[in-house]
Amino acid sequence: MSGELTPRAIQRIIRQVGLKCAARGHRLSETLVAFMVKAVVLDPRNDYNMDQILTENDMQDLIQLCVTRLLDTTNPSLSTIKMQVYFDMNYANRDELVSEKERVLEGKMAPVVRAITESGAHAEEEMENVYQKIVTYALLRSGLGSPTDIEAIREVTAALQSVFPQTEMITFISLSKKDKEQQLKDLAMLVTGIRLYNKECQKGGSGIDDLPNILHKAIPSTTRTLDERLNSCQLLAHRYTALLESMQEDPHRHSQLSTFKLKEALFSVRQYEAFLCILQSNAITSAQEVESLDVKFKAAMMVLKNTVQDKISIESKEVFPLFMELSKLWTGYQNELLLLSFLTNMADNLQQFLEIQLQLFSEEMLTSLLEGVAVKSDEERIKESMGTRVNVSDFKNQEWLFPETTDNFDQLLIQYHGFCAHSIGVKGITLPGNPAIGILKHKEKYYVFSSKEAAYIFAQDPDKFIQLNVEKAKEYSELIQLLGLHHQFEYLVLHTQTRNATKGLMKRSPKCDSGTQTDTHILPPTIVRSYEWNEWELRRKAIKLANLRRKLTHGMQTNLSHMRRENCTQVYLPKDAGTQTKHDSSSNVPKPQIFLKGLRGGSSATTHMVTVDLTRPLNET
């Protein structure tokens, strides 16, 4: 197995280390083992080089060293690396968590959806079975109740029948599979909205938890727990920092405390603090989102109540969008509850990686070690340096940035996650940097410092101190992630960071939309169309021209074509024409009205008839 440390050789070493750890009862993830192997090779104290050729004994020594490091439960450095691997493997932001939840839900609902959409039922009994499956789908999709809850099933069935009666099954079955799936989702949202409205009106709501009230109680509890743990770890960091500074100032204390792994403990606590800050930020965002959901949900419910009131019937186009809006808002509550549960689990699981701190440094031990030592918090250190500032005139070739002269000063991506760029490599301590002193811009990167003196020393030769920080990260591999040095150790980053390069643990780089436009053709075209690169084509053209010189054009004329010319005639096509020979006319004449009197006779023997003409004259009509 001897040879160079090629990727294939390192992979074999990783496999051997994993097997040896498993044989001793410790099953470790391949990511953790791989990180530790590469960290051991990277550490200059172990005298390994990626280009050197290792013998069989060297390989075994490397494997044994890695196994020893991985099984050393008293080393805070191992605990920090385990914490980094755990967080990197399990943490997901809001969008990723919601997407994963949706993917899992789709996977669970796939068999039910398939049974509904692929059914070609035509008999009445078969259609009824499909309808019952739709009821089950609507209940499971909403997550409001259990399929074994009879009351919840009745509510879902009644709500579904009000918007999708069983007589519509014939039309539903005739749809395409894609349209069926979309209609199923719409029906589930409508049913959810109807059930939420009925719950608000106290006419149902079986199996529906009061998510707003649950969240209003859970969010403060989670935030309070995170604050307590954050304050606790920050206090530890301040104490460790004070002890490390006292070691550098007093040689006697250095010999007294050198056996303690204070630097490894400080880095572990700082990493734990960074992770807790991320979780705390998510909890605050979740609280803001819940407040927004409360306002929107109450407004949507009020609009729905005003629309429905006590009406017997109402148009679907008016009320259906309101029901679907209620369903979407309730899904938002469910997402926030899922996120809060995730944050709580992450915080609880991270707590285990800090147990070694209690084993190495009990409260009594720290109290005794800190006698006569002033412990300063990060806020106090920043406050002490607030009155000092770098004098720009002292540096001719360096660019310094200040809040009042720099746009988006708070959005600058500070190197080393805001820690002092000087104290890391020189003192091996992570001190908070103060941007008010001045931010040094060196090779398009930004650096902050804990004091004016540290800024002046660093600015004299920035590349030297940057290299010192890199060497310190090689010695303490947990600094690579803590300080964000992944770009300098690309072969040592965790695999999920390689997979998702945009995933960061601290402030992300600022981004802005920009655009540019250029002319399509600035200069006039200079293409010579007659150019020919093919020599044989040029040869053919030359032969053709040479042959044309020996050609003559002949013409003749016959007697039949003598003095002839082409003739043509033009005619006009007939056009459409019409004539009118008569037109309709009318006149109005008086209606004759003539009456005869005396036709029935009278008292005399003879009949005297009188004619009465009541016809109106022509000029009066």
The backbone torsions φ and ψ at residue 234, rounded to the nearest 5 degrees and listed phi first, read -65, -35
In this structure, of 173-177, 271-275, 583-587, the range with the lowest mean pLDDT score is 583-587
Residue 105: per-residue pLDDT: 92
Residue 419: per-residue pLDDT: 92
If asked whether residues 142 and 196 sit together in one domain, one would say yes
Band (pLDDT 50/70/90 cuts) for residue 528 is: confident
If asked whether residues 457 and 397 sit together in one domain, one would say yes
Q: How many residues does the chain have?
A: 621
If asked whether residues 124 and 178 sit together in one domain, one would say yes
If asked whether residues 129 and 195 sit together in one domain, one would say yes
In this structure, of 44-58, 92-106, 196-210, 225-239, the range with the lowest mean pLDDT score is 44-58
Residue 267: per-residue pLDDT: 92
Give the integer Cα–Cα distance in Å for 482 and 430.
10
Which residues, in sequence order, are bridge partners of residue 611?
Answer: 596
In terms of average pLDDT, the best of 314-328, 332-346, 471-485 is: 332-346
Residue 281: per-residue pLDDT: 94
Helices 262-308, 76-90: crossing angle, 10 deg rounding: 20
If asked whether residues 338 and 411 sit together in one domain, one would say no
Percent helix, strand, coil in the chain, to 5, is 60, 5, 35
Q: Quick one: what percent of the chain has pLDDT higher than 90?
A: 35
Model confidence pLDDT, tens digit, residues 457-469: 999 999 999 999 9
Band (pLDDT 50/70/90 cuts) for residue 422 is: very high
Contacts of 301 (CB under 8 A, 6+ apart): 196, 197, 200, 326
If asked whether residues 220 and 365 sit together in one domain, one would say yes
pLDDT at 371 over 60: yes
CB 343 within 8 A of CB 279: yes
Residue 508: per-residue pLDDT: 45
Please report which helix (H) or strand (E) contains residue 612, including its range: strand 610-613
Sign of CA dihedral 451, 453, 454, 458: positive
pLDDT at 434 over 50: yes
**Which position has the token pair 């429905």?**
308
pTM of the model as a whole: 0.74
Residue 590: per-residue pLDDT: 82
Sign of CA dihedral 91, 96, 99, 103: negative
Residue 412 has which token pair? 């600058």
Residue 5: per-residue pLDDT: 65
Model confidence pLDDT, tens digit, residues 463-506: 999 999 998 988 888 898 899 887 777 655 544 444 444 443 33
CB 32 within 8 A of CB 82: yes
In this structure, of 389-393, 404-408, 606-610, the range with the lowest mean pLDDT score is 606-610
Nearest to 319 by CA among 294, 301, 334, 333: 301
If asked whether residues 304 and 258 sit together in one domain, one would say yes
pLDDT at 22 over 80: yes
pLDDT at 284 over 80: yes
Considering only residues 450 and 505, tell me which one the structure prediction assigns the higher pLDDT.
Answer: 450
CB 70 within 8 A of CB 21: yes
**Which position has the token pair 């072969």?**
491
Domain assignment of residue 49, yes or no: yes
pLDDT at 97 over 70: yes
Give the integer Cα–Cα distance in Å for 14 and 306.
67
Q: Write out the DSSP string of 491-505.
A: GGS-HHHHH-TT--S
If asked whether residues 424 and 319 sit together in one domain, one would say no
Give me the domain span that covers residue 185: 119-201
The 8-class DSSP code of residue 337 comes to: H
Model confidence pLDDT, tens digit, residues 540-587: 999 988 888 777 766 666 666 555 666 677 777 777 877 777 777 767
Domain assignment of residue 396, yes or no: yes
Considering only residues 394 and 513, tell me which one the structure prediction assigns the higher pLDDT.
Answer: 394
Band (pLDDT 50/70/90 cuts) for residue 431 is: very high
Average pLDDT over residues 435-442: 91
Give the integer Cα–Cα distance in Å for 599 and 411.
120
Nearest to 237 by CA among 276, 266, 272: 266
Average pLDDT over residues 324-329: 93
Contacts of 608 (CB under 8 A, 6+ apart): 598, 602
Count of other CB atoms within 10 angstroms of residue 124: 9
Band (pLDDT 50/70/90 cuts) for residue 326 is: very high
Considering only residues 340 and 619, tell me which one the structure prediction assigns the higher pLDDT.
Answer: 340
Q: Burial of 469 by CB count in 10 Å (0-12 exposed, 13-18 middle, 19+ buried)?
A: buried
If asked whether residues 225 and 354 sit together in one domain, one would say yes
Q: Write out the DSSP string of 518-562.
A: --S-SSPP---TT----HHHHHHHHHHHHHHHT--------STTT
Considering only residues 246 and 516, tell me which one the structure prediction assigns the higher pLDDT.
Answer: 246
Residue 295: per-residue pLDDT: 95
Domain assignment of residue 459, yes or no: yes
If asked whether residues 458 and 323 sit together in one domain, one would say no
Residue 55 has which token pair? 């013998």
Domain assignment of residue 22, yes or no: yes
If asked whether residues 296 and 317 sit together in one domain, one would say yes
**Domain count across the chain:** 4
Domain assignment of residue 238, yes or no: yes
Please report which helix (H) or strand (E) contains residue 397, including its range: none
Distances (CA, A) of 129 to 58, 153, 156, 342, 448: 70, 15, 15, 38, 69
Which residues, in sequence order, are bridge partners of residue 439?
Answer: 401
Domain assignment of residue 615, yes or no: no
Band (pLDDT 50/70/90 cuts) for residue 215 is: very high
Residue 605 C-alpha from the chain's centroid: 121
Number of H helices, E strands in the chain: 22, 7
Average pLDDT, the chain: 84
Among 337, 370, 403, give the residue marking a domain's end: 370
If asked whether residues 224 and 334 sit together in one domain, one would say yes
Among 165, 183, 201, give the residue marking a domain's end: 201
